[in-house]
Amino acid sequence: MHIFKTIQPLKKFLTKAVARNKTVGLVPTMGTLHEGHLALVNKSLEDNDISVCSIYVNPTQFNNPQDLEKYPRNLASDLAMLEKTQCQVVFCPSDEEMYPEGKENSLTINMGYLNTVLEGKYRPGHFSGVGVVLSKLFHIVNPDRVYFGQKDLQQVAVVQNLIHNLFFDLQLIRVPTVRNESGLALSSRNNRLSESDKITATALYRALMMIKEELQKKPAQVVAAQQKGLRFLENEGNIKVEYLEIIDTEKFGIVSDTRNHQEIAICIAAYVGEVRLIDNVLL
């Protein structure tokens, strides 16, 4: 496994690989890897000759400085996990390498409507930071394919928008959410949950599935299904819902009748204790 901390040696390595007609897959991560990340890496290994996993906690996508400070980091464990997958390349740069101009002076990207709903609404500037760091990674790695998990569904839409509007010549692959045996979506933030809060957090998935079942029976009763899910979570304790919405995955607009759209997602963001979690299920 080749580990790079700076851009130019990585680009030199990949340029030689591409000259030998090797295809390249990119799995962007912020580290503290879990089985969800490894599912992305394994899919990339299946699809490509060379897989690059980036490990970088990007400061420009955090609108809350305390959230950035508390974000879990464990590079040694991450590298050991990636070694077992036989991932060929890891890129783990510093802030100085990724933002030589200083992160305070980084450019911004307006993601349009996606900035105004769900994660965009509640985390101002988040998707601008995501777009900037991914644009940098796409230019550095020049991948044929890039891999994201369904759990970050709105981020998938942002990346697709970025690829389309900036003419990146690569394919986005969306990989299903990986969950534990209780249904909790795997997330690096789960490491900050107490054992009791991990049990409480499973209520998020149960609420999503409850709403899904309601909408499968009564596709026009969106508000009623949504309210049922909210009432269920109100009774769980130690959960503060930030949003719970039923949206179409093409434009991320809130829907009133699920029969009028090709793909529907039920999306939630909630605090379990002090930890903010997101999840979604497709209808």
Q: So which residues are the catalytic ones? A: 37
Instruction: Say whether 91 sits in a helix, a strand or coil.
Output: strand
Question: What pairs with residue 145 in β-bridges?
Answer: 25, 171
- Nearest 5 degrees, angle CA 259-CA 213-CA 198? 125
Question: What pairs with residue 248 in β-bridges?
Answer: 264
Burial of 95 (0-12, 13-18, 19+ CB in 10 A): middle
Question: What pairs with residue 256 in β-bridges?
Answer: none
- Nearest 5 degrees, angle CA 196-CA 197-CA 199? 70
**CA pair distance 16, 142, nearest whole angstrom:** 13
